[in-house]
Chain A
Amino acid sequence: MEQARPTILSMRHITKEFPGVRALDDVSLEVATGTIHAICGENGAGKSTLMKVLSGVYPHGSFDGEIVYRGERVAFSRINDSERAGIVIIHQELALIPELSIAENIFLGNEPRGVLGIDWDTVRGRSRELLARVGLDEDPDTQIKNIGVGKQQLVEIAKALEKDVRLLILDEPTAALNEGDSQHLLDLLVGLRSKGVTSIMISHKLNEIEAVSDAITIIRDGKAIETLDIRDGAVDEDRIIRGMVGRTLGNRFPDRAGHAGEVFFEVRDWTVQHPLTAERLVAKQSSFTVRRGEVVGFAGLMGAGRTELAMSIFGRQYGTWLGGTIVKDGKEIQLRSVSEAIANGIAYVSEDRKALGLNLLDSIKRSIVSAKLGKIARGGVVDALAEAKVAEEYRQALRIKAPTVEMGVDTLSGGNQQKVVLSKWMFTDPDLLILDEPTRGIDVGAKTEIYQIVRELADAGKGVILISSELPELLGLADRIYTIFEGRITGEIRAADADQETLMRRMAPTKGDAA
């Protein structure tokens, strides 16, 4: 069992070109049966392309090189071919239909036939077994839209198991999950491994990779750089990062300046009602303060109400405001709309870059100036030269990787898109920036750069609110951290005095005690 495990998959000399770009350049990958094999690399390195080559999204013949799967050369020309062979890919964007039930989703396109159409008893029975296997305690008739992202991820895996999966590919499976759900998912992968299911996991979360995977292949700029056996514990995070970025990163978190200024922004007794359910409060008498030059962290589980709190402050963009006041620079202010919030120097970088942060049809230039066009317009007419100049300044200052600011933001990687969003809000001259999960789905190199920007903003005297699900990020970057549980602020702690455990206990008081 230790040595010479049989190889389930070997991809040899894969080269895939798009017009003008070589996305994969002679990449080879060996995956041993019954292992969890991690693939790491910065965004745009070619990880997803490699998996699309494997699963037949890019049909055989559209790339060079060969794929040997379970001892045979294979040529998948569409995704169904690979699924029939037992290779199932679970994408970052889940492919479940929200209006259908769990059971219906699991058997979608693969419904067992009875005498009278679909055999629903079999569907429900099998679903129940599969849900038990993935450890999901839900009625198979529950609609997908009524369960959380974490549970949806488990349904996807159940769906894969139903197809008799031998090789499971997960693309950033825990990106959208909170700590608890992530842990559950990882445990499940380990469990599947013991039953002989091989997994390939694309992930940015190095601690997770370290915890569960057996081997790791690092891809950089379309080339496979190295494959590390990490079972013996000789490989640590820094080693992996070095492989990914091709150099050693210094301290991932910039040094704190130390002294924050006076309190300039204060929220008192903020209470907000859920937009649909009147009896549900998403913020309950929440009060907090922000000082100049300070990074204030907000920690909480998914659904605790962090985003809801932030968006309700930012021009009442979430729920119904029931009560509470906002005081800025000693004066009470009203933020009834986004324009009022912007005018009062508040900026909000949303957690969902693509859906809420950017118009993906726009160029970098137009995106950067979009939140405060008035600054470069006279009498409603945009000064194209001023616009180009401003955009160019930000491109250089934030090191946005694009040849010109005329490029569409849809062509940028996640990290660079996030830099555009940050530029857009910095352009509004805010006093307070609310950053909601600013590094979600961003690779390690870009993360470090964004940490640097956040720190610089604080050092320039701005207040920053940092909402994050990654506790090390909060601990490393914030000066002070508020914890939120079920819409209520449950604690406030200086980052220097906190560790992950103390934060977790406040983020999930009852559950934490029970576990």
Chain B
Amino acid sequence: MANHPTKKVKTDGESAQTMQSLLAKAIQPEYQWSDKDEFLDVVYWMRQIMGLVLGLVWGFIPMRGFIGLALFFVVNVAIVYLYYSSFQKVDEEEYGGASEILKEGLMTSFSSFLVAWIILYSALYS
């Protein structure tokens, strides 16, 4: 288990370096998050990448209909849930309940997903 409470990083004006250190912390299992915002940032960016990737995959398969939308939410929420409960093992109560973590950046991720899905689907299958 890694316990390195490193310097407190401000969420404002994040530079590339901050991103790198955030990534290093994000892939460390059970990292002790000293700054709650940092963990939520990780969840946020993870969601954005996931939205984009899922959109591209759905467009490539191609997935059609509302099942695609529903499946996106299921996969997205499930991965975030597994990440924070099994991989990072954070106490969700510290963040104001599971819903706070689960809805972090969900809508933005959903719109990125839709854009990627629609564009790839139209490019390949119309």
The judgment on whether A and B are partners is no
Interface residues, chain A, CB within 8 Å of chain B?
Answer: none
